[in-house]
Chain A
């Protein structure tokens, strides 16, 4: 008789403890960050397209598309410590597959985008399998060679232009049909919105990964492979998973890029793109999702500004080189980490300056008090 009673009391005690814990199970959300993000997303989706001229709409669409590419590369570099110099080539695979399917089939656009992502994911994993045995410089070299190889192959095979056969390329075509866009997003502003929505979905996908078990496994692998192994994490599997996820979203971005450009030419893709990509990703910041957005904006907007200043495109490489040097020496977590800190510092400085002359001695005491907090 006594036994069941003790069981029930311990059960109810356990339930009470569990109830007490439940609020802890959710990490404290960041309301400020969440609301700023929501406002920004709404602004970009609804207000921005009507504020931009055609020139900026094109570049901002590219920025939205490439933010997914930089997100994938940032995931590899920042979360797993895999330095890939081949992401430009992964974009090309996605773009090629997307273009081929858009010319060759009548499937709905989103389906094609997902299929392009999946095909790219399989190819990316095939590259990743042997490459995962390497680290650091060797992985970077292998992926760079892969990027070079893809560039060479596509220079021979060419991007599809509505022809037949496996390659979908017709060398003597005169009237090349443009790569189709989704029916709801035919115009440039509408396609910009479409690209932003795709980017948001991809960011959400990566965010979910980071919050759940893969994110934990990646964080463990990055800091300490022995600890990860001792905890029973299959390092090889999770690294391949990171490669697969990065390749998938990059492939999706490639397919969206294909329809943005309407026509694809292999001459527009170079091996150097992959190196520039890594540079902007490092500058933007690899440890935060915002870093990917900043990186994409740098990648797409800086060349335009240089052009409007009348400077040669070659300055871009120098500028990004200096930027990477700056990041490595003073702000290893990139602009995404450094900018808010700098703004906070500036804000404190301005606050102190504003307080000082107005309130005399009392203000100085207040400022000193503010300094200690």
Chain B
């Protein structure tokens, strides 16, 4: 469970997150909002890439903000990036094995191979990532996120730019993550069909403020959410 209280992030004069308080309980949760709403900033705060000017984040009772980035990964935070960051010159295996893991030796190898097998999509451990297509590279990042006993997985637009069949495969993988790892998974994406297919609950940000949260279906029908995405006039019609 992630409890965020009164989180504010400022970049110079821009307030990316403005006093956001929200709770992600368990399973797979969605975080949506128009461009510039502060979704990636929220991920950056959780994974340590941005420092909030105020607010607290408690993850399963621990104070996340007190840890430097690499400690958060050791604690169990995993994230993927909007622009995929698979390391080209390494194999799939090494890309997944680079993540911090409490396991050692054979158990660790088995865990890495299991993560690769779990993400599927035709990934083979000893293929060089530089030779893979965009969809498979996304899967390499997802495999890295599920390896090494994660507790909180942050997926930042994993389906961006993928064709429909690869998005469908990704959706099935993401839906299986909580069962596979027991980790709380937060998904940021613009693809509403993916979010509604995968997430039980969803929170919506707009201009750095939380405008709705709750069960995904209800949130997507929410008047404020439709207004944020479509503009007032269309909703009034």
B91 touches A220 (CB 8 A): no
A21-49, CB < 8 A from B: 21, 24-25, 27-28
B125 touches A227 (CB 8 A): no
B98 touches A220 (CB 8 A): yes
B85 touches A224 (CB 8 A): yes
Our pick among B47, B78, B87, B110 for the contact of A220 (Cβ within 8 Å) is B87
Q: How many inter-chain residue pairs (CB < 8 Å) link A and B?
A: 68
**Interface assignment of B25: CB less than 8 Å from any CB of chain A:** no
Return the CB mask of A226-264 against B: 1 if under 8 Å, else 0. Answer: 111111111100000000000000000000000000000
Return the CB mask of B99-117 against A: 1 if under 8 Å, else 0. Answer: 1100000000110010000
CA distance A28 to B100 in the complex (A): 25
A334 to chain B minimum Cβ distance, whole angstroms, is 15
Residue of B nearest to A14 (CB): B110
Chain B interface residue bracket vs A: 20 to 34
Given A220-B98, A231-B100: A21 and B81 interface contact (C-beta under 8 Å):
no
Our pick among B48, B74, B87, B89 for the contact of A227 (Cβ within 8 Å) is B87
Number of residues on chain A facing chain B (CB within 8 A): 22
Our pick among A219, A220, A226, A233 for the contact of B81 (Cβ within 8 Å) is A226
CA distance A223 to B86 in the complex (A): 9
Given A226-B85, A229-B49: A219 and B90 interface contact (C-beta under 8 Å):
yes
CA distance A18 to B111 in the complex (A): 11
CA distance A95 to B164 in the complex (A): 63
Given A229-B69, A232-B74: A217 and B89 interface contact (C-beta under 8 Å):
no
Given A217-B98, A229-B70: A27 and B87 interface contact (C-beta under 8 Å):
no
Our pick among B47, B88, B94 for the contact of A230 (Cβ within 8 Å) is B47
Given A27-B91, A226-B49: A18 and B110 interface contact (C-beta under 8 Å):
yes
A233 touches B126 (CB 8 A): no
Residue of B nearest to A28 (CB): B126
Given A24-B126, A220-B87, A223-B87: A231 and B94 interface contact (C-beta under 8 Å):
no
A24 to chain B minimum Cβ distance, whole angstroms, is 6
Task: Identify the B interface with A (CB < 8 A).
Answer: 47-49, 69-74, 77-79, 81, 85-91, 94, 97-100, 109-110, 113, 125-126, 144
Known: A223-B87, A229-B70. 20 other contacts (CB 8 A): A21-B113, A24-B113, A25-B109, A28-B126, A216-B98, A217-B98, A219-B89, A219-B90, A220-B87, A223-B89, A226-B81, A230-B69, A230-B79, A230-B85, A231-B99, A232-B99, A233-B70, A233-B98, A233-B100, A235-B70
Task: Identify the A interface with B (CB < 8 A).
Answer: 18, 21, 24-25, 27-28, 216-217, 219-220, 223-224, 226-235
Can you list the 10 inter-chain pairs with the closest CB atoms, starting with the nearest? A232-B73, A232-B100, A227-B85, A231-B99, A224-B85, A229-B69, A216-B98, A234-B70, A223-B87, A232-B70
22 sample A-B contacts, Cβ–Cβ < 8 Å, listed by A number: A24-B113, A24-B125, A24-B126, A25-B109, A28-B126, A217-B98, A219-B89, A219-B90, A220-B98, A223-B89, A227-B81, A228-B98, A229-B69, A230-B77, A230-B79, A230-B81, A231-B73, A231-B98, A232-B73, A232-B99, A233-B70, A233-B98
